[in-house]
Amino acid sequence: MIASPQNFNITPEEYLQMEDKSQIKHEYIDGEIYAMAGASDAHVTISLNLAALLRSHVRGRGCRVYISDMKARIETKNKNKFYYPDVMVTCDKRDQETTNYKSFPCLIVEVLSDSTEAFDRGDKFADYQTLESLQEYVLINPKSQRVECFRRGEDGLWILEFYTAEKSVFQLKSVEFEGSLADLYEDVSFELESEI
């Protein structure tokens, strides 16, 4: 996201109409829209690797996997926001009723970048936590093999589990998935990322 909003006080309906015609993507936060920047090679590769692994895994289970072009909508009494997660999975039939956003994901994944990491860990995570359907929020580091998985416990508290190269596998319990870090990071060049 860029630092300052481009438009003020537009409605969600106006945002959705504008976004359908826009050549660039924007996130929407309570009446303001923010243009999204492009992503690095590692960022895109990791997102695609995970989406491909998850798509194969959930096939035939009534779940859908979406990549960065599908919006997640957060709508509460005090919030009205649309974000573009890097990867999102929904198994809720209510999400079949909307074609350009989803409101009931069970899993949201963000691949970190220098410009968005603080937001992904802070306000965006706080917003995602208001989604009652969300069971897991995952942050993936593109500079080293590190996956941070936040899971909502039965008491509503979020519990963090780390996966690093030493573990070699990671789990996404919301969709009963176990995969290898080698597959997740396939074709990612950490040397190239460190040059940025």
pLDDT in tens, 25-61: 889 998 888 888 778 899 999 999 999 999 999 999 9
Close Cβ partners of 124 (under 8 Å, ≥ 6 residues apart): 83, 110
pLDDT at 1 exceeding the cut of 50: no
pTM of the model: 0.90
Close Cβ partners of 66 (under 8 Å, ≥ 6 residues apart): 51, 85, 87, 88, 89, 90, 102
Q: pLDDT tier at 24 (50, 70, 90 boundaries)? A: confident
Q: What is the pLDDT of residue 124?
A: 95
Alpha-carbon span 185 to 25, nearest angstrom = 26
* SS3 label, residue 127: helix
Query: In sequence order, what E strands does the chain have?
Result: 26-29, 32-35, 64-67, 71-75, 80-83, 87-90, 101-102, 105-111, 136-141, 146-152, 158-164, 169-172, 177-180
